[in-house]
Amino acid sequence: MKDVEYISTMPSVIALPRPFPSRDGVPIIARVDTRLFTVRYFTHCLQCGFCHDWCCSHGVDVELPRAEAILRHADALEAYTGIPRDRWFEPEVQEDDEFPGGKAWRTRVEHGKCVFLKRNGRGCAVHAFCLERGLDYHELKSMVDCLFPVTFEGDLLCASDEVTDGELVCMDQGPTLYRGTRPELAYYFGSACVAALDAIEAEVGQP
């Protein structure tokens, strides 16, 4: 199976031409795991009819500026989700220099799903809330969530654990990890970073 091959293959890491900080200053990526250009996943979540929002089984780390933005909309979000704000996040905020604001606040899990998963439909309630109100979802939704199943570890752009562990339900179909997240990478790291990644993709990948 392709996912087994992916897990058993040692990653090939290529340095980017220069470090690229995110629009918030951190994280800063300087290297990329080339498996992002070959491993595939379904990508178009709301068109999926088989995973039942599996990737929302866990909470997600929300960088402090986004968590603060969520709380600024707390009254409206409580009405929208039907969930009181004191159930949204874990009790402790974690220090993490790789996250904007130097901290991350993890969302809670209720009944086996992230507290912000829509219970009367599909997908993220924060995302849907923003779209329905004409807000840019990046202002409230976490970077980790928007980039999934791509993530960052130190200065390395790489696949999320769910991919490397072979757990992601929708692997091996659809665009590559890079192609599926390219618009989000452009948003967070800029057009010059994406141009550099495009050049690496042309060498090693499968567009």
Among 110, 191, 193, 94, smallest CA distance to 142 is for: 94
Q: List the pLDDT tens digit at each of the 207 positions of the chain.
A: 344 344 435 569 999 999 999 999 999 999 999 999 999 876 566 555 666 666 677 899 999 999 999 999 999 999 999 999 999 999 999 999 999 999 999 999 998 999 999 877 778 999 999 999 999 999 999 999 999 999 999 999 999 987 878 777 656 678 999 999 999 999 999 999 999 999 999 998 655
Terminal Cα distance for the chain, rounded: 21
What does the pLDDT read at residue 51? 60
Nearest to 146 by CA among 40, 64, 61, 72: 61
Write down the pLDDT at residue 179.
95
User: What would you measure as the largest C-alpha separation in the chain, in angstroms?
Assistant: 49
Give the per-residue pLDDT at 206. 59
Res 41: pLDDT: 74
Pairwise CA distance, residues 27 & 20, whole Å:
9
pLDDT of residue 58: 86
Element (H, E) at 8: helix 2-8
Q: What are phi and psi of 185, to 5 degrees?
A: -60, -40
pLDDT at 1: 31
